[in-house]
Amino acid sequence: MDGMALALSEAEKALQEGEIPVGAVLVRGDEVLWADHNRREQAMDPTAHAEMLCLRHGAVRKGDWRLSDCTLYVTLEPCPMCAGALAMSRLGRVVFGASDPEKGCCGSVYDLPADPAFAADTRWTAGVREAECRALLETFFRSRRSHTQAKDPV
């Protein structure tokens, strides 16, 4: 099972729905507990990030909020909210594609899982299929810029 391939598939769905194309998949061993993508716009929910949805629904499916035996694959480095949720869920590992130099909290701006104040044991791996993950984000933001420029009078 290729967790990042599944996460990329979810990110593609987000792109088609007009959401920022971030996809995530929570797995335990070879079992997919949950796969999802950003749904902030459609849900009108600022917490409806792909990671949060996977943690929330995956924990229910597992029957335990403690996710120390799970891995989360996500196409973009988790933000502060998501990195905090990873730590609080005791997630065993997060694997992400593109780093986020503006809001990333698994090594870019901050390394929340490594902060001893949180006593989190979440390990992370960066840069998995990074070019593909970044290309989806660039496509989305390029499209947004071209739509905004087309609407602005010159």
Return the active site residues: 51
Sequence letter at residue 112: L
3-state secondary structure the chain: CCHHHHHHHHHHHHHHCCCCCCEEEEEECCEEEEEEECCHHHHCCCCCCHHHHHHHHHHHHHCCCCCCCCEEEEEECCCHHHHHHHHHCCCCEEEEEECCCCCCCECCCCEHHHCHHHCCCCEEECCCCHHHHHHHHHHHHHHHHHHHHHHCCC
CB 52 within 8 A of CB 85: yes
